Amino acid sequence: MAFKVFSTSPTFGYSAHEPVEYLRSHQCEVELVPPGKKVAEEELVRCLGEIDAVVVGVEKITETIVRACRRLKIIAKHGAGVDNIDVKAASNKGIVVTNAPGTNSDAVADLTIGLFLALARRIPFADCSVREKRWPRIVGVQLNGKVLGIIGLGQIGKRVARRASGFEMKVIAYDTVKDEGFAKEWEIAYLPLEEVLAQSDFLSIHVPLDPKTLRMIGERELGLMKKEAFLVNISRGDIVDEEALYKALRDGKIRGAALDVFSSEPPFESPLLSLDNVILTPHMGAYTVEALRETGMICARNIVDLLEGRRPRFVVNPEVLK
């Protein structure tokens, strides 16, 4: 009997076809949500009733959805963060949750550097000006010699730090878990959060969303930053208090910001859209062909391993397997 696999992720199986081919070669029937379609909770409740495995992106997998899953054995996150999945509800029902950590780290780090440059040299404004047949003299700033503050020196943060060294930036970092060996090798100073905020010319956020990081950058923290500083958030939208950020940008308390993630996505009602000192991108940090292929293959292998009686590689709730 074939296993039934359903994907709610808009990127699984489209830019990279190998994961779907792998599943089908292992007796799996695969159904993909069409690109651009957002699946509501009620529809997921209907769709997942007779499914063995589901691949999910950023859409929420709630307790209501989990309770409706009669055959579901595994929820495979097409990415690293599982804050959109009710892991406790899944565990209570004996459903394994897996993820794919580290597969998109280089892609996210690349975009982070790209956003630094776009902010520093006002690249989006320059492009729009020429398209509108204007030819302004745009004065930006350089990256070399500037201080980069990294909040969260994990897999992505480390890759950003390595790339920043090529621009001769001084890197400082805040993290609750310290890798002293890496910091020594790359001449990075660990500092308290307040000092990182106060010293940074560019501030980059790379921490997971959890109760401790929820709105960790708010009005007080933004008030500690330099007026000429830039903030980049490519982690999770709710780590930054968007209302406080809007006010800080509007009032010139910081120079600019670039956001790839938002509290509500898409952020079409956000007042941030009215500001010209913020760059907004559509949660695209992990989306490169290379990263999607690797992430998708890990999802596919996790699913096949579990359905064929083996332990998946990346299990978020290992207590279920006991």
Angstrom distance (rounded) from CA 231 to CA 240? 10
Of the residues 265, 308, 310, 313, only one is catalytic, namely: 265
Amino acid at 269: E
Instruction: Verify whether residue 236 is a known catalytic residue.
Output: yes
Q: Is 26 a catalytic residue?
A: no
Residues 227, 219: Cα–Cα separation, whole Å? 14
Q: Write out the chain in H/E/C secondary structure.
A: CCEEEEECCCCCCCCCCHHHHHHHCCCEEEEECCCCCCCCHHHHHHHCCCCCEEEECCCCECHHHHHHCCCCCEEEECCCCCCCECHHHHHHCCCEEECCCCCCHHHHHHHHHHHHHHHHHCHHHHHHHHHCCCCCCCCCCCCCCCEEEEECCCHHHHHHHHHHHCCCCEEEEECCCCCHHHHHHCCCEECCHHHHHHHCCEEEECCCCCCCCCCCECHHHHHHCCCCCEEEECCCHHHECHHHHHHHHHCCCCCEEEECCCCCCCCCCCHHHHCCCEEECCCCCCCCHHHHHHHHHHHHHHHHHHHCCCCCCCECCHHHHC
- Cα dihedral sign, 259-262-268-269: negative
Q: Which of 122, 206, 283, 301 is catalytic?
A: 283
Answer yes or no: 78 catalytic.
Answer: no
Catalytic residue among 78, 122, 159, 236: 236
Count of CB atoms within 10 A of residue 140's CB? 14
Query: Could you list the active site residues?
Result: 236, 265, 283
